[in-house]
Amino acid sequence: MGRTEDLKAKGLDLGGLDGTFGFLLHAAWRDAARTFAEHFAETGITPLGYSILLLIARNPGCAPGDLCEIMGVTSNNMTRLIDDLSRRSLIERTVHAADRRARRLQLTAQGAATLEGLRARHAAYEADFNDRIGAERIDRLCEILRHFD
Amino acid sequence: MGRTEDLKAKGLDLGGLDGTFGFLLHAAWRDAARTFAEHFAETGITPLGYSILLLIARNPGCAPGDLCEIMGVTSNNMTRLIDDLSRRSLIERTVHAADRRARRLQLTAQGAATLEGLRARHAAYEADFNDRIGAERIDRLCEILRHFD
DNA sequence: TATTGTTATACTCTATAACTATA
DNA sequence: TATAGTTATAGAGTATAACAATA
């Protein structure tokens, strides 16, 4: 079971925190981030970086602004995430011919190859949680989380 | 509905991200954090600070280490969170008589009074989400999230 | 030796604002 | 005047390591 179950057994009064969705959401996200970091150790890829690579793979030529909207990251921060992946030669950023303000993003050959390894790690990470939490619960979780902004 | 629903309508391929619980969990947590910040604007209280105040109120005399365990925060970081609340005269930190290594944490009178106002804000914040997401969904969400560590 | 808490430090994520270059 | 992206900067959260005081 989860952490809150263990703690109540120790006589500490959680003061309703274990019924507070924000507290639980934060804890669950940190669990996911920590587990992601374990599975992606020594790749230097963070959850945000992985999302970007995945999105560029599916939408070659997309613009940073597209990723901002999907990922909920502001453009200034997206620039730095893209800088990092670009500096590591995983993606290529070129000026858009039609609108020279915009940029076109694409995976490099190295980026595409790297992504395959990352997909395998991600599958293992998800299998990890399916084992721990239950695949059916994870599905119901996703269904509910899609109602958030 | 949620953000992912809107985005799919724009022709962007999310590449399975909207079925990835980690991506959805991150987005939902940011939604919760952003909404919390709106409701707690100008109080200077963050989600972590609110949790600490709540826990000290329910467990007067508890030690920083107790809070670390409940909240999943390491002790070095807890020190700084407590420093902040202490500097603002909301809590009092005294040396534990029986074990002089430990500290005893208590709300000050000002802290207790402040907490009442914060509880009202938190109730409004939760009502906000119950309206947006549905109280029954939030309940089911909590039930699932308690399985995480 | 082990434990409680503190200090120092660094990195990631997030946010606001000011800026460049295009349109 | 508006938009796409960049640069600068700051604050919050998280993490590791080294340390002090006490047990």
pLDDT at A2: 57
Question: Is B114 a member of any domain?
Answer: yes
What is the rounded average pLDDT of the residues A18-32? Answer: 97
pLDDT at B10: 57
* DSSP 8-class letter at A98: S
Chain A hits for B129, CB-CB cut-off 8 Å, are 21
Closest Cα in chain A, distance from residue B64 (Å): 13
Question: Is A136 a member of any domain?
Answer: yes
C-alpha to C-alpha distance for A56 and A66, rounded to whole angstroms = 10
Contact A117, A41 (CB under 8 A): no
Question: Is B30 a member of any domain?
Answer: yes
Q: Could you tell me the CA-to-CA distances from A120 to A53, A72, A127, B10, B51 in Å, in that order?
A: 14, 25, 11, 29, 37
Question: Is A25 a member of any domain?
Answer: no
pLDDT tens digits for A60-73? 999 999 999 999 99
**Closest Cβ–Cβ partner in A1, A17, A142 for B147:** A1
Phi, psi for residue B88 in degrees, rounded to 5: -90, 10
CATH number of residue B61's parent domain: 1.10.10.10
**Closest Cβ–Cβ partner in A30, A126, A142 for B24:** A142
Average pLDDT of the residues of chain B: 93
Mapping DSSP to helix (H, G, I), strand (E, B) and coil, where does residue B98 land? coil
Q: Is the pTM of this model over 0.85?
A: yes
Which helix (DSSP H) or strand (DSSP E) does residue B67 occupy? helix B64-71
Chain CA centroid to CA B29, Å: 10
pLDDT band, residue B93 (cuts 50/70/90): very high
Residues by Cβ under 7 A, strand C: A 46-49, 73-74, 76-77, 80-81, 99-101; B 26, 30, 34, 63-65, 68, 75-76, 78-80, 82-83, 93, 96, 99, 101-103
What is the rounded average pLDDT of the residues B31-52? Answer: 97
Residue with tokens 């308690």: B146
Question: Is A115 a member of any domain?
Answer: yes
**Contact flag, residue B77 CB and nucleic strand D, below 7 A:** yes
Amino acid found at B10: K
Phi, psi for residue B91 in degrees, rounded to 5: -135, 165
A1 CA to C5 C1' in angstroms comes to 30
What is the rounded average pLDDT of the residues B24-42? Answer: 97
pLDDT at B4: 53
Question: Is B49 a member of any domain?
Answer: yes
Question: How many residues belong to chain B?
Answer: 149
Question: Is B7 a member of any domain?
Answer: no
B106 CA to D2 C1' in angstroms comes to 54
Please count the structural domains in chain A. 1
Question: Is B4 a member of any domain?
Answer: no
- Domain that includes residue B55, residue range: 21-145
Rama region for B79: left / alpha / beta (φ>0; ψ in -120 to 50; rest): alpha
Chain A hits for B7, CB-CB cut-off 8 Å, are 69-70
Which nucleotides of strand C lie within 7 A of protein CB? 3-9, 12-18, 21-23
Radius of gyration of chain B (CA): 19
pLDDT tens digits for B71-89? 999 999 999 999 999 999 9
Average pLDDT of the residues of chain A: 93
